[in-house]
Every structure is written in C-alpha cells, then in structure tokens.
C-alpha cells in the first residue's frame, strides 16, 4: 500500500465506480452526498480527474467540473477546486487543456499526457486530498470514479479509479446501467479484470436505470450475489428529473419534457460546446420546450435562439459558416425572433474574432483573425490568460436586478468603432459583461459573458416575458419558484429514491 500523508480519516471514504461511462456515477455520488447530509454527516465530493467542458468557477477563480460543484451543493457546502483537482478540457484532435487545482497548466495531446502528466497529476490529487482532510477533520469523502476502472491499456496510468480507491482504502460500490443491456456481463467482466486486493474493496453493487416492476429482477439479483459473493445494495428505478450530462455527446440522448410548451427554444449544438448546464433552468420550465439545433434549417420555428459557450470559438464559428447555420442565424435575425449568446456565443455574434496567441482554434488557419456573424457591433481579442471569477453585478435590461454567475473566457470584447454602435446598449452596469440591441421587427439580439445568467430568477422571468409578450401570451407570475429551490427539490427527490431503494448503511462502517 502506498504511503499516505499524515491524516487518518475518522470516517471511511465511499467510492462510486462504474462499469462504463454513463453508468450513473455522478448522480449516485450526488444522491449519497445528500443522504449523508440528511443524516447529519459532513460529506465532501471528490473526483481526482474529470474530463469535461462543462465547468464551474469557484470563489477563488479556480476551474472545476460542474458535476463536482453540483455534488457540493448536494452536501450543502461551497464548491472548491480541491474537490476536482484535475480537469481536462477537450479541444479536439486528441488535445486537451490541463487544469490543476483550478489553474490552467497548458495544452497536451493524449499521448503526451500519459507520458508527462501522470506523476505530477497524482501528486496534485494527493495534495488535494490532504488539503480537504486538514480543513475538514470529521468529513467523509464521497469519491467518483471515471469511465470503467479496468481499461487494461490505461490502468497503469489511471489516476481516477482504483489507484484512489486503494490509496484511501475506500468502501467501493460498482454501479451499472441496466438500460444499456448486458448488465450481467458488465458486472462479471469488470470484477474479473480486477486484482484480488482491488476486488476486495468492492462492498456492493448498484443496478441503475431499471424500468418497470423492481421485483421482476429478484432472480437476477440473487444470481449476481451468488456469482460474485458481493451484495446488490440497490436497484434504482428510471428517474425523470433532469440533471446536466457529464459529456456533450450525452446532450443528444436527453429526453424532451414539455407536454404543452408555449415557447420553443433552439440551442445551437456547437462541436466544441461548453457549459451546457447554463440551460438547465430553461429545461426545468414547464412552459418551455428546449431543442438542440444540429444542422442548417429554417430557424423560424423557434421563439428564441441561444448560441452557447464554446471551448474553441473560432473553430465553432468556422463550423457555423461552413454548415450554413451562420446564414440561417442571420436570416432569423431579420424576423421578430430573439437571439441570445453566452460567452463564446456572445463573441460569435460580433464582427471580429482575433486569436493572436492561437487560443481558440485558429492555429490551422492561415489567418488568426476571422469574421463573426456580425449581428452585434463588438469585436473580441483572445488573450493568453483566462478571466475566471465569480460575478455579482446589477442588470439594466430587461430588468434592474442583482445578478450572480461567473466568467470563464480568454477573450476581451469591446465595441467595434468601425460599426454603427448607436443602437447597441449594455445589459449590465458593468459595461463589459454584455450588450443587446433591438431589431426592426421587435426582436432582440443580446449576449453576455455571465455563465449561469438564467439561474437568476427575476432576470430570467423578465427576459422570457419579452418573448411571451410578443406572442401575446400571459406574462409569467413574478412569484414563480426559484430555480435554485427547484434544483434543491430535484436533488432531494433523487436522494429520496436512493433512500427507498439503496442500502447505504453497510458502506458507512
């Protein structure tokens, strides 16, 4: 056993491993965190290494995966980058940006990452665990694995799964997704590929996403227990509540919920989309139907369009132009439709994107400067260093109200003095955070750098009411339920389902 730092956890860590990506590890950790909090414990989420462009910024300006931030909310604590010490942000072509303890350390290929970054990465993980335990003497770590723990070609360099489990001697559960099929082979195959000292850490098995009568799986449960000599601690039914997916590919698999929508929103599915959790508040509005726009089409079917954040803004702008979507968006802007860009989406709505340090996907182009869609008279220059910070400011449009969120971008944007800027106005009293203008048909074109803008209930309601008014729909009640309260309700519902169907007690000893 590898020597650990000078700490001896009073409470045994719990670790959630999965038979594959998408098995349900993130939601299982979220549920366990809330269950433990409800029992009076002090849980803290942890994932040594995550690969995701769905990021969050902590109060020190450090980047971390949004899934660990959500798990921290389930614990009732403030998220910090120690909970996700390594974040890999994919950029395409087998390259990723490496984030260590919230700070960018550079770009690497997958091959070079496994050659150069494993040892320093493991040191960062151990350091983060030490920081957490030194500051939280009586906590219980709830740890999330990544993908499968037995990818045999990578297992010697895997920083997230069995290395962490053995280092902390964690009580582990193995989660598998029955919806995908082959659940027996997933479980047996995963366990068979483990070494004896690794397998003994598996204290239970969890069957996830079961549809129908749970009693129908009783024979399957007995077979698994007889074959593995490991108890099946729970069978979790299929849950309808909506959580942000870990991976942008999962966006295409999200079910559409809105039986009687009054407003239809189209979100452009950029190849390098990031921070898609920005739209969870819209997906949880019963009157709104959210659909992902994948290719060139008539956009007039939507009441408003959203251009989301992007990890590679210039590459995504080139995609918009080559796919025909850029023209579709321009055509849509001539109607009474509404367009809203967030971060990279805001930048693409402008006139010029200048990438002198090759930060945003211009490296393979002859010119580091390209034209944007041109719907807002703003220009963006991408700098070497990121702006990452929490935001607390006041909006001017469409309503004067306090706004909370965060910034996470390389670009600096300003008005383009070569364009007509008379009609464009700031959205916030902080003049660099966003702009809007009205078109001749009554619609608006707007954008902001603030991630989480739609989580601000009063602001979101007034923006949606602009659209409802144009459709002659009754305005939203100002007493509409807070999204953050609704998020708490979703987490509680998740925890309640686990409480009914999952025996956690054997993992706590």
What pLDDT is stored for residue 506 in this prediction?
87
What pLDDT is stored for residue 19 in this prediction?
97
The model's pLDDT over 438-496, given as tens digits with 9 standing for 90+, comes to 987 788 999 999 999 999 999 999 999 999 998 899 998 766 678 899 899 999 999 99
Looking only at the bridges linking them, the beta strands covering 444-448 and 434-438 are antiparallel
The answer to whether 265 and 290 are in contact (CB under 8 A) is yes
Strand segments, DSSP code E, in 269-419 are 273-274, 288-293, 304-307, 309-310, 338-342, 352-354, 369-371, 378-394, 402-415
Q: Phi and psi for 73 in degrees, rounded to 5?
A: -60, -40
Q: Encoding tokens for residue 229?
A: 């000599």
CA distances from 257 to 103, 119, 241, 285, 464 (A): 37, 45, 10, 10, 18
For tokens 């997704």, name the residue: 177
Q: For residues 277 and 164, what is the distance between their CA atoms, to the nearest angstrom?
A: 28
188 band by pLDDT with thresholds 50, 70 and 90 = very high
The answer, yes or no, to whether residue 246 has pLDDT greater than 60, is: no
What pLDDT is stored for residue 257 in this prediction?
62
The model's pLDDT over 108-142, given as tens digits with 9 standing for 90+, comes to 999 999 999 999 999 999 999 999 999 998 999 99
Query: Which one from 33, 343, 409, 462 is the annotated catalytic residue?
Result: 343
The answer to whether 345 and 453 are in contact (CB under 8 A) is no
- Is 36 strand, coil or helix? helix
With a pLDDT cut of 70, the percent of the chain lying above it is 93
What are the boundaries of each domain within the chain? Answer: 14-238, 254-486
Q: Encoding tokens for residue 27?
A: 């939601």
Cβ-based neighbours of 151, under 8 Å, separated by 6 or more: 158
Handedness of CA 454, 456, 457, 462 (dihedral sign): negative
1 band by pLDDT with thresholds 50, 70 and 90 = very low
The alpha carbon of residue 375 and the mean position of all alpha carbons in its chain are separated, in whole angstroms, by: 28
What pLDDT is stored for residue 5 in this prediction?
58
The answer, yes or no, to whether residue 381 has pLDDT greater than 80, is: yes
Q: Would you report the helix, strand and coil content of the chain in percent, each value rounded to 5? A: 35, 30, 35
The answer, yes or no, to whether residue 286 has pLDDT greater than 50, is: yes
Q: For residues 286 and 282, what is the distance between their CA atoms, to the nearest angstrom?
A: 9
What pLDDT is stored for residue 244 in this prediction?
60
249 band by pLDDT with thresholds 50, 70 and 90 = very low
| Assigned CATH class of 14-238 | alpha beta
With a pLDDT cut of 90, the percent of the chain lying above it is 81
The answer, yes or no, to whether residue 72 has pLDDT greater than 90, is: yes
What pLDDT is stored for residue 256 in this prediction?
59
What pLDDT is stored for residue 283 in this prediction?
86
Give the number of other Cβ atoms within 10 Å of residue 12's Cβ.
16
The answer to whether 378 and 415 are in contact (CB under 8 A) is yes
The answer, yes or no, to whether residue 355 has pLDDT greater than 80, is: yes
What pLDDT is stored for residue 480 in this prediction?
62
> What rounded mean pLDDT belongs to the chain?
92
The answer, yes or no, to whether residue 254 has pLDDT greater than 80, is: no
State the DSSP H helix or E strand holding residue 33, giving kind and residue range, or none if neither: helix 25-38
451 is catalytic: yes
Average pLDDT estimate for 51-76: 96
The answer, yes or no, to whether residue 289 has pLDDT greater than 80, is: yes
The alpha carbon of residue 59 and the mean position of all alpha carbons in its chain are separated, in whole angstroms, by: 17
Query: Which one from 75, 139, 409, 451 is the annotated catalytic residue?
Result: 451
Nearest to 508 by CA among 233, 160, 161, 226: 233
Q: Phi and psi for 446 in degrees, rounded to 5?
A: -145, 160
Nearest to 47 by CA among 88, 4, 104, 92: 88
The model's pLDDT over 7-57, given as tens digits with 9 standing for 90+, comes to 667 899 999 999 999 899 999 999 999 999 999 999 999 999 999 999 999
pTM of the model: 0.94
Average pLDDT estimate for 244-261: 59
CATH code, residues 254-486: 3.40.50.880
What pLDDT is stored for residue 248 in this prediction?
45
What pLDDT is stored for residue 176 in this prediction?
97
Fold equal for 14-238 and 254-486: yes
What pLDDT is stored for residue 399 in this prediction?
94
Q: For residues 61 and 82, what is the distance between their CA atoms, to the nearest angstrom?
A: 12
DSSP 64: E
What pLDDT is stored for residue 477 in this prediction?
76
Average pLDDT estimate for 245-268: 70
């Amino acid at each position: 056993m590898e020597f650990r730092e000078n700490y001896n956890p009073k409470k045994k860590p719990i670790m959630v491993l999965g038979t594959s990506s998408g098995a349900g590890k993130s939601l299982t950790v979220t549920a366990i965190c809330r269950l433990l909090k409800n029992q009076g414990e002090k849980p803290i989420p942890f994932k040594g290494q995550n690969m995701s462009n769905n990021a969050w910024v902590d109060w020190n300006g450090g980047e971390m995966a949004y899934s660990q931030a959500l798990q921290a909310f389930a614990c009732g604590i403030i998220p910090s980058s120690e909970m996700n010490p390594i974040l890999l942000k994919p950029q395409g072509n087998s390259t990723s940006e490496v984030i260590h303890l919230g700070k960018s350390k550079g770009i690497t290929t997958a091959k070079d990452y496994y050659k150069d970054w494993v040892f320093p990465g493991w040191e960062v993980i151990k350091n983060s665990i030490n920081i957490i335990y030194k500051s939280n003497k009586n906590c219980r770590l709830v740890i999330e694995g990544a993908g499968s723990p037995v990818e045999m070609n990578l297992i010697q360099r895997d920083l997230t799964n069995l290395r962490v489990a053995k280092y902390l001697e964690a009580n582990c559960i193995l989660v598998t997704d029955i919806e995908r099929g082959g659940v027996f082979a997933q479980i047996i195959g995963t366990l068979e590929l483990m070494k004896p000292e690794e397998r003994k850490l598996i204290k239970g098995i969890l069957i996830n996403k079961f549809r129908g009568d749970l009693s129908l799986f009783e024979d399957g449960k007995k077979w698994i227990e007889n074959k593995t000599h490991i108890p099946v601690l729970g069978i979790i039914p299929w849950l309808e509540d909506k959580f942000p997916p870990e991976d942008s590919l999962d966006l295409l698999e999200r079910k559409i919920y809105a039986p009687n929508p009054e407003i239809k929103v189209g979100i452009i599915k950029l190849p390098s989309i990031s921070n898609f959790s920005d739209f969870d508040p819209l997906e949880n509005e019963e009157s709104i139907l959210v659909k992902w726009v994948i290719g060139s089409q008539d956009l007039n079917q939507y009441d408003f369009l959203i251009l989301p954040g992007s990890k590679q803004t210039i590459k995504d702008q080139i995609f918009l132009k080559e796919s025909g979507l850029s023209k579709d968006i321009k055509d849509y802007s001539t109607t009474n439709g509404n367009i809203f860009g967030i971060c990279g989406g805001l930048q693409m709505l402008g006139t010029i994107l200048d990438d002198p340090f090759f930060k945003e996907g211009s490296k393979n182009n002859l010119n580091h400067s390209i034209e944007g869609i041109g719907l807002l008279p703003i220009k963006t220059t991408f700098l070497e260093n990121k702006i990452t910070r929490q935001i607390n400011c006041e909006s001017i449009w469409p309503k004067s109200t306090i706004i909370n969120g965060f910034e996470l971008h390389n670009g600096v944007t300003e008005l383009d003095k070569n364009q007509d800027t008379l009609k464009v106005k700031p959205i916030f009293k902080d003049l660099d955070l966003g702009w809007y203008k009205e078109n001749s048909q009554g619609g608006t074109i707007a954008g902001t750098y603030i991630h989480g803008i739609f989580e601000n209930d009063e602001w979101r309601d007034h923006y949606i009411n602009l659209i409802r008014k144009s459709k002659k729909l009754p305005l939203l009640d100002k007493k509409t339920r807070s999204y953050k309260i609704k998020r708490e309700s979703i987490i509680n519902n998740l925890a309640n389902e686990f409480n009914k169907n999952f025996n956690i007690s054997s993992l706590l000893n």
